[in-house]
Amino acid sequence: MIELTTSPQAEKVFLAGLITQDLSRFEAELSLDELGNLAHAAGATVVGSELQKRPAPHPAFFFGSGKAREIGALARGAGAGTLILDQDLTPAQERNLERTTRLKVLDRSELILDIFASRARTREARLQVELAQYQYLLPRLAGMWGHLSRTGGGIGTRGPGETQLETDRRLVRTRLSSLKKRLRTVERHRRLVRSRRSSTYRVALGGYTNVGKSTLMNSLARTRLPVADQPFVTLDSTTRKLYLGEGLSVLITDTIGFVQRLPHHLVASFHSTLEEVREADLLLVVADASSPQIEKDLVVVDETLESIGAGEIEKIVVLNKMDLVGDHRSLQAMAARYEPGCLSVSALRRIGLSDLRIMMRSRIHTTGHLLGYANSLQGNGTGTEA
Ligand SMILES: Nc1nc2c(ncn2[C@@H]2O[C@H](COP(=O)(O)OP(=O)(O)OP(=O)(O)O)[C@@H](O)[C@H]2O)c(=O)[nH]1
Ligand SMILES: [Mg+2]
């Protein structure tokens, strides 16, 4: 287990969001709770929050301008130096809000990008996060320089600012194309490794973040992947051979989790990591059975899988953390909703794992021959590294 703690000088942040026609108060509150968890994962302390009811975001200020001033005063009064918005902002909204509230303003995408940047460990994950960050930055450069020339004001700021903007745009574009080139090399390597494994049946763990995917991988395949009660602990993919009994072995991959409104830049730049999911023959869609949000989370997972081209892959829904659910009837009712191909387990307490292996075997027997996986159906590996 890795330690992910908040530093004593944690940045104090205030959270804010909208209740709109598409988002009820209850949903907006749950979403704000999740934003709080994300802020905590980024090392911040949440000192307060506020929601405003509006049919749609104000095009210039996001909130009404009076409400924006009020939120600024509330946040500064609570000691916050940063305001984090639950929805995404246009570059103009972000700039106007910074001026009105006199706070540093971040939106949900920036916060998620920040967590990814601090957690990325492998070369591939770092390249992918950097690519997403620069893509996010590019349309905002103009505002940054406009902002500087306004605040700096006076002689000598505007001209150099604009020249600098062109220079910066060029630098960012050059960096973007170099990152894309380096990622293509990593992707080629990954494809090569995958093509060597192409005769073996592939299973991928997918699901919302923090539901226990890596814990399940560790329990099934005897890996020692980092696990923590934090979102986005896993940002890479790890593949191992897994023996399922009765002469069947498969490759199993643990990878990145999803969250609602995952920034599209991130989904696009994590293309090669997510390819491990897209190319799987079977997905174990892991869900947290103890979460009050389970149904909504599963909808987000389905939508994300669809958006990355993995919507049609065979699935088993794994209701994890069953040890935290006291009411077994509600668990059975939940499992019945996702039948056929759903079962309850506890990855941590190793409950239900044999049933999961049996269910996987039966799926592979139904589809593996059709897919021509001779190795899977004859292998006898023992969970060693692939
Ligand atoms: N009680 C209980 N806790 C569990 C179980 N499985 C996982 N956890 C806990 O849930 C938290 C998240 O587990 P991870 O395995 O890191 O979850 P993940 O889905 O890989 O999360 P990310 O990689 O961050 O997306 C950790 O604190 C685990 O100890 C379970 O069956 N029961
Ligand atoms: Mg994980």
Q: Measuring from atom 27 of ligand 1, which residue has the nearest CA?
A: 229
SS3 284: strand
Count how many domains the chain has.
3
Q: What is the mean pLDDT of residues 25-52?
A: 94
Same structural domain for residues 56 and 103?
Answer: yes
134-139 long-range contacts, CB within 8 A, separation 24+: 134/172, 134/175, 134/176, 134/179, 135/176, 135/265, 135/268, 135/269, 136/109, 136/110, 136/263, 136/265, 137/172, 138/169, 138/172, 138/173, 138/176, 139/91
Same structural domain for residues 209 and 351?
Answer: yes
Same structural domain for residues 228 and 312?
Answer: yes
Residue 290 placed within a domain? yes
Residue 98 placed within a domain? yes
pLDDT category at 376 given cuts 50, 70, 90 is low
* Closest by Cα among 383, 346, 381, 377 to 362: 377
- Percent of the chain beyond pLDDT 70? 88
- Percent of the chain beyond pLDDT 90? 62
Ligand 2 center to 229 CA (angstroms)? 10
Same structural domain for residues 211 and 262?
Answer: yes
Whether the pLDDT of residue 251 is over 90: the answer is: yes
- Pocket (CB within 6 angstroms of ligand 1): 209-215, 227-229, 231-234, 257, 320-321, 323-324, 346-348
CA 38 to centroid of chain Cα atoms: 10
pTM of the model: 0.86
The secondary element (H helix, E strand) that includes residue 307 is helix 294-307
Asked if 270 contacts 300 with a C-beta cutoff of 8 angstroms, the reply is: no
Same structural domain for residues 242 and 350?
Answer: yes
Q: What is the mean pLDDT of residues 307-328?
A: 94
CATH number, residue 310: 3.40.50.300
Q: Could you tell which of 227, 255, 320, 349 is best to mutate to test the pocket of ligand 1, judged by most ligand atoms within 8 Å of the CB?
A: 227
pLDDT for position 308: 92
26: β partners: none
Same structural domain for residues 163 and 275?
Answer: no
What is the token pair recorded at 195? Answer: 């093509």
Residue 192 placed within a domain? no
Cis omega (within 30 of 0) for bond into 139: no
Ligand 1 center to 36 CA (angstroms)? 18
Residue 1 placed within a domain? no
Same structural domain for residues 166 and 202?
Answer: no
Same structural domain for residues 220 and 336?
Answer: yes
Domain residue limits at 164 = 121-183
pLDDT category at 144 given cuts 50, 70, 90 is low
How far apart CA 106 and CA 97 sit, in angstroms, is 10
pLDDT digits (tens, 9 = 90+) for 353-370: 999 999 999 998 887 655
Same structural domain for residues 331 and 205?
Answer: yes
Give the number of whichever ligand sits closest to the CA of residue 322.
1
Neighbours of 309 (CB within 10 A): 13
Ligand 2 center to 257 CA (angstroms)? 7
Ligand 2 center to 365 CA (angstroms)? 28
Burial of 102 (0-12, 13-18, 19+ CB in 10 A): middle
Same structural domain for residues 139 and 83?
Answer: no
Q: What is the mean pLDDT of residues 294-301?
A: 93
Same structural domain for residues 240 and 374?
Answer: yes
Query: Helix/strand/coil (H, E, C) string of 211-274?
Result: CCHHHHHHHHHCCCCCCCCCCCCCCCCEEEEEEEECCEEEEEEECCCECCCCCHHHHHHCHHHH
Q: Could you tell which of 348, 351, 356 is best to mutate to test the pocket of ligand 1, judged by most ligand atoms within 8 Å of the CB?
A: 348
Q: CA–CA distance from 174 to each of 178, 181, 310 (Å)?
A: 6, 11, 32
